[in-house]
Amino acid sequence: MKTALITHADCLNHVTPEGHPERVARLQHILHALEPLDLNRVTAPFAAEDDVLRIHPADYIADLRRARPNDGFAQIDGDTFLSPGSIDAAFRGAGAVIRAVDMVLGGEAPNAFAAIRPPGHHAETSTAMGFCLFGNAALAAKHALDHHGLNRVAVVDFDVHHGNGTQDLLWDEPRALLVTSQQMPLWPGSGRPDEDGAHGQILNMPLSPESGSAEMRAAYETQAFPRLRAFKPELIIISAGFDAHQDDPLASLNWTTGDFTWVTAELCALAQDLCQGRIVSTLEGGYDLNALSAATKAHVQELMKAAT
């Protein structure tokens, strides 16, 4: 069985103002880089409102719909914008991760990558922020737990920014382990080790600016992987942001494309040991187009290797 690639053209209709780093070209470059790969290409469905209600209240969704402009842009916060196509893009993104979980847990795909935007890991329960509208990784986890009846799901977030939204959405969820690495100090400022969840089920691994491969590999080897092994997840969800890359303009970790290959391969090996290889990965950040497309391709190629 092949790795599933789940996306939708609607995700290209979420437009941001000129000069905004989270831009349409990001997904275009990624899809171009993935074009030659032998993947099971799946069109993302529209998420049902009831699905999104697993993580966001109805008035939050209604407020976003009301804020959607008929043309131009609506500004939600300092760097989060809506265009006319943004709400549909967000519902396709949510639909993509739900479909990914359904495929992987239903035996239709060994693992899956959701190539979607806007990203999700900064969206808190009732607050859109940091380019994000719906908390896709947390939604995938809740869908696996509540709809599929799993007991333990792990979310691993290697985006360079702290996944404050995923942390907020899973803070009181004892069935979900959240393991996240982030540059600190860096926006949004959260992600200290003492932020460990209502049940001690959140592991924050801050990394210093200008640290690189050795520091990140040590953090994952000494902290993340042992926690994952001890938790014994039935599914691993990856918040795959590629902005820790050394060429990224928004941060100053010095990860190479090889580091993304390494962490993906390690997570695939863990998944093989713990949960029949089941991984659902969803796109978060990454803002240098060449680094983003190369690192995403490396990530997906590792998923493909694990699928054979």
List the catalytic residue out of 122, 161, 162, 299. Answer: 122
* DSSP-based three-state secondary structure for 115: coil
Least Å distance between CB 305 and Zn ion? 26
Distance, in Å, from the CA atom of 161 to the CA atom of 253, rounded to the nearest integer, reads 10
Distance, in Å, from the CA atom of 221 to the CA atom of 152, rounded to the nearest integer, reads 21
Least Å distance between CB 88 and Zn ion? 23
List 7, 285, 295, 307, residue binding Zn ion (CB under 5 A) = 285
Q: How many other CB atoms sit within 10 Å of the CB of residue 257?
A: 18
Q: Applying CB under 5 A, does 130 fall inside the site for Zn ion? A: no
Q: Which stretch binds Zn ion (CB under 5 A): 10-18, 25-33, 158-166, 170-178?
A: 158-166
**Among residue numbers 196 through 225, which ones bind Zn ion (CB under 5 A)?**
none
Q: Is 299 a catalytic residue?
A: no
- Residue 196: is it exposed, middle or buried by C-beta count within 10 angstroms (0-12/13-18/19+)? middle
Q: For residue 15, what are its two tokens? A: 């437009």
List 42, 241, 288, 296, residue binding Zn ion (CB under 5 A) = 241
DSSP class of 22: S
Q: Which stretch binds Zn ion (CB under 5 A): 64-72, 153-161, 185-193, 229-237?
A: 153-161
DSSP class of 145: I
Distance, in Å, from the CA atom of 294 to the CA atom of 1, rounded to the nearest integer, reads 24
Given the complex with Zn ion, which of 168 and 234 has the nearer CB atom?
A: 168
Residues with Cβ within 8 Å of residue 78, at least 6 apart in sequence: none
By beta carbon distance, the residue nearest Zn ion is: 285
Given the complex with Zn ion, which of 131 and 220 has the nearer CB atom?
A: 131
Least Å distance between CB 161 and Zn ion? 4
Active site residues: 122
The residues binding Zn ion (CB under 5 A) are 159, 161, 241, 243, 285
